[in-house]
Chains A and B, each alone.
Chain A
Amino acid sequence: MACYELGLCTFRKTIARHEQVRARSRKLLLDNIRGERLGRLIDQGCMRCALNMLADLGVDGASVYEEDFEKCFLEDTRSFYRNESLSFLSQNSCPDYLERVELRLAEEMARVSNYLHVSTRSKLQLILEAELISAHASTLIERQDSGFYILLTHSEHRMRDLARMHNLFSQVPATLGLLRDALYMHVRTVGQSLVNDESKAEQPVEFLHCLLNLKKKYDGVVSDAFNGETIAQKRLKEAFESFINADTRCVSCLVIYVDELMKAGFKGAKEGEVEEELGNVLAIFRYLQDKDIFEALYKQHLAKRLLNRRSASFEAERQMLAKLKGECGYRYTTKLEGMFTDIKFSKDATMKYCSSSLGENHNNKPTIACDLDVTMLTAGYWPMQSLVPCILPSCAVVATELFKDFYLKEHSGRKLTWVTSCGSAELKVSISETARYELAVSTYQMCILALFNNRRIDDVLLFQDIARTTRIPESELKRHLISLCTPKHRILKKSAKGKSVAKTDTFQINTAFSPRLKRIRVPLVAMKEVSSHPHHHVPIAVEEDRRHLCEATVVRIMKARKHSSHNDLIAEVTRQLHQRFFPQPHFIKKSIESLIEREYLERCDHDARMYTYLA
C-alpha cells in the first residue's frame, strides 16, 4: 500500500472514526444542514471541506462518506421533508405548496453543488420526489379547495400554477400519469354535465357554443400547462369522444348549428370568419362516432336550405362540403354535391323554359310558363321519400303539364314525378271588394284553398271530402289545415273548436279575415316530434344502411381471404368501418349469420371459429 493511502487509513481509524469523533461530527454536519434548511446561514466552505475529507477517506474498500454521513443524511432528509410537506400542505393551498416544492428542490440541488458530494445527487433527488411529490400526488389532484380539478375549472387565471404542477409531476412519471388521468376524468365529467343539461337540450346552437368554448379552454390547458404534449392531447381527445358519443343528440345539434350558420350566421361574413367557424365545426365532427347519422341529418337540412333558397352563401356551402370530403373521402359527399348540381341545372333549365315559351307566345306578355319555378331533383341524391303526388288544382296542372312536355322533349326516357310534399305557391285572394290579399302558402295549402274556388262564399267542405279530392296524406292534411285556422291566420273557419283536426270537422272561408299586410306568409304548424328520443337513437334509414355496408364489407373481406378466423374478421370489419360508424361485434355477428344463411359463407367443418367463403 502506498504511503499516502496508509496515512489516510490511519487517519480514518484513529481520528475520523474515533468513538468520540465519529458520531459527534456526523451530528454537527446534520444539524448544520437542518439549520440551513430552516433558514440559518452556515459555513458552506467548512461543510464542503469536511465532506470532501470523508469522501477522500474512502480508500481500501471502505466507504466512509456513505456510511458515516450519507446514510443518515438521507434518512434525516426523508423525515424532514415528510414532516414539512405534511404540515405545509395542511395549512396552505396546493398551488402555494407546489411553489414551495419548487423552491425546496432548487435549494437542495444547490446544496449538492455547494458542499455535498456529487454522488448524493441522484439519491437525494429520489427522496425529494418521493416525499414532496409522489406522497401527495392524489391530494394535490383531488383536494376540494385548491387541487388540480379546481385549478382546471379556473384555468384562465391559474395557468401558471397548472404549468408548475405539470413541470413538477413530469419529474416523477408515475404521478404524471395520474395527472393526465385526472385531466381526462375532469373533462369527461364537465362534458357529461353539459350534455345532460336539460336546459341546453332545446337550444342546439347555444349547446354548440358551450361545447366549442369547452374545447378552446382545455386545448389551452394542454398547450400552455401541459406543453402541448401528445399524450395529454390524446387523453383530451378521448375525453371529448367519450361524452359526445354517449348521446346521439350531439350529432343533431352539430347539424343544426351548421344549418343556422348557413342560413343566417354567414350573411356578410368575411372569408376568414367562415374558414374559422367551419374549422371549429370540423373539430367537433372528428369526435363523432356516428358520422353516418351526421350525413343523413346534414342531407335533410341541406335539402331544405337549397329548396327554400335559404343559403346565405353558396361559397360557404361549398367550403363545408370540401372540408367533409377532405375528412371522409369523396364518397361521403358525392350525393351532397349532386344536390348542388341539381340546383344549378334547375336554374338553367327554368330560364330556358321561360324564354322559349316567351318566344312561342307572340304577345310578348309574360306567359303562364314564367309563373312556374321548377327545381329538378335527381332521385338518388335527395332525402325525399317518394310519395304519391297529390291532386293539383287545374290551373296548376296546366302549368306543370306544359313544363313536363318541354322537359321530356329534351330528355325523353326520364321519369318525372312532382314532389307535392314540398314547394310553395302564391295565391291572389279576392273574396270581396274589401277582402283582397295575397297568400304565400305550401303546395298542399294551395290544393286545399283551391277547392273553395267557384263555390258559394259560405260553402262548407268536409274533411273527408278534402282528403278524397286532394289525396293529401292524412297526417299532413291535418297539419296544413290547422295552419290555415290558427288565430293569427284564420283564413278558414273550423267547425269544432280546439287545436287539432278531427275527421268529422268541416271548413269554411273566413270572410272576416282582414290582414293588415297585403301579402301574408302562412307559417306551417310544427310537426309534433316523437319526443321519446332515446339517447342512442339511430334513424331507421341509417340502421339499414349500416347493415348493408357491414354485409358488403364482410363479403369483400372473405372473398379476398377465402378463409378467416372469427376474431380476425371482426377486427378487419371494424377497421374498415369505424371511420363512418362503430360496428359493435354483436352487430357484425348478425351480418355474418345472415350471410351464412344466404350461403355466402360457411363455418369450417373442423373448426367452428373459422369461416370459409363460398364462391
Chain B
Amino acid sequence: FLDNAEFRPFFKFCFEFNREGTKRFLERDTALALLPLCIEDRSKHTLNFLEFLETKPEDFKINRDQWCSFLDFSLAVGPAPEFDGWDSEESSWPILIDEYVEFVQEKLKET
C-alpha cells in the first residue's frame, strides 16, 4: 500500500494542507493527531514514532523534510528491534529519524 505511487503525493499533501498559512512546519500536537489518520498502521513505525514525538516538548515543530522522510524511512527500513537497512554510521536520514531509532533502541534496552 505504502508503495503505491499515488500515496506519496497524498502523504505530502496531508502535511501541506495542515500547515498554517506561510509557516513551513506542523506543531507537535497536530502531527500527533495527523499521523495516525493518514498513515495509520501501514507503517510499522507509526506507534513507536508517535511515542517518540510525545517525548518532545510542546513547542516542537516538524518540517516538511522530516515528515516526508518518515514515509521513505518506513519503506526502506524494517521495524524494531532490528531496523534492517538503517546504518547508524552513514545515515543520511534527517537527525530526527536518527533520534527516533535511538529512542526505540534505548527503550528496548531497558525492558
Contacts and interface: CB of A to CB of B under 8 A. Distances in A.
A566 to B, nearest CB: 3
Contact of A608 (B63, B90, B92, B95): B92
Nearest to A611: B92
B63 A609 contact: no
B93 A608 contact: yes
B90 A593 contact: no
Given A603-B69, A608-B69, A608-B76, A593 B93 contact: no
Contacts of B94: 589, 593
Contact of B95 (A565, A586, A603): A586
Given A590-B95, A608-B76, A566 B90 contact: yes
A589 B66 CA distance: 13
Interface string B92-109: 111100000000000000
A585 B90 CA distance: 9
A512 B42 CA distance: 86
Interface residues of A, number: 13
B65 A603 contact: yes
A211 interface: no
A609 B92 contact: yes
DSSP majority for the A interface? helix
B24 A567 contact: no
DSSP majority for the B interface? helix
A596 interface: yes
Nearest to B66: A593
B24 A597 contact: yes
A589 B95 contact: yes
B29 interface: no
B72 interface: yes
A134 to B, nearest CB: 35
Contacts of B92: 565-567, 589, 608-609
A261 B95 CA distance: 46
Contacts of A593: 65, 94-95
A593 B93 CA distance: 10
Interface in B65-103: 65, 68-69, 72-73, 76, 90, 92-95
Interface string A583-599: 00110011001001100
B74 to A, nearest CB: 11
Interface in A561-615: 565-567, 585-586, 589-590, 593, 596-597, 603, 608-609
A565 B91 CA distance: 12
B65 A597 contact: yes
Contacts, number: 30
B95 to A, nearest CB: 6
A197 B9 CA distance: 60
Contacts of A596: 65
Interface string A484-501: 000000000000000000
A597 B63 contact: yes
Contacts of B93: 608
Contacts of A590: 95
Contacts of A589: 92, 94-95
A586 B94 CA distance: 10
B98 to A, nearest CB: 8
A590 B76 CA distance: 22
Nearest to B96: A593
Interface in B11-69: 24, 63-65, 68-69
Contacts of B68: 603
A607 B92 CA distance: 11
Interface in A135-163: none
A603 B64 CA distance: 11
Nearest to A601: B65
A344 B63 CA distance: 52
A316 B69 CA distance: 56
A566 B72 CA distance: 15
B95 A567 contact: no
Nearest to B65: A596
A567 B65 contact: no
A567 B92 CA distance: 8
A566 B65 CA distance: 15
A591 to B, nearest CB: 11
Interface centre among B24, B63, B92, B93 (most CB of A within 10 A): B92
A145 to B, nearest CB: 43
A567 B76 contact: no
Contacts of B63: 597
Contacts of B90: 566-567, 585
Contacts of A603: 65, 68-69, 72
A589 B98 CA distance: 11
Contacts of A586: 95
Nearest to B95: A589
Nearest to B75: A608
Nearest to A599: B24
A609 B90 CA distance: 10
A585 B64 CA distance: 22
Interface centre among B63, B64, B65 (most CB of A within 10 A): B65
Nearest to B76: A608
B82 to A, nearest CB: 19
A608 B64 CA distance: 14
A354 B72 CA distance: 72
B83 to A, nearest CB: 15
Nearest to B89: A585
A590 B65 CA distance: 13
Given A566-B92, A567-B90, A593-B94, A608 B65 contact: no
16 contacts: A566-B90, A567-B92, A585-B90, A586-B95, A589-B92, A589-B95, A593-B65, A597-B63, A597-B64, A603-B65, A603-B68, A603-B69, A603-B72, A608-B69, A608-B73, A609-B92
Given A589-B95, A603-B68, A608-B92, 20 more contacts: A565-B92, A566-B90, A566-B92, A567-B90, A585-B90, A586-B95, A589-B92, A590-B95, A593-B94, A593-B95, A596-B65, A597-B24, A597-B63, A597-B64, A603-B69, A608-B69, A608-B73, A608-B76, A608-B93, A609-B92
Give the top 3 A-B pairs by smallest Cβ distance, nearest first: A566-B92, A608-B72, A609-B92
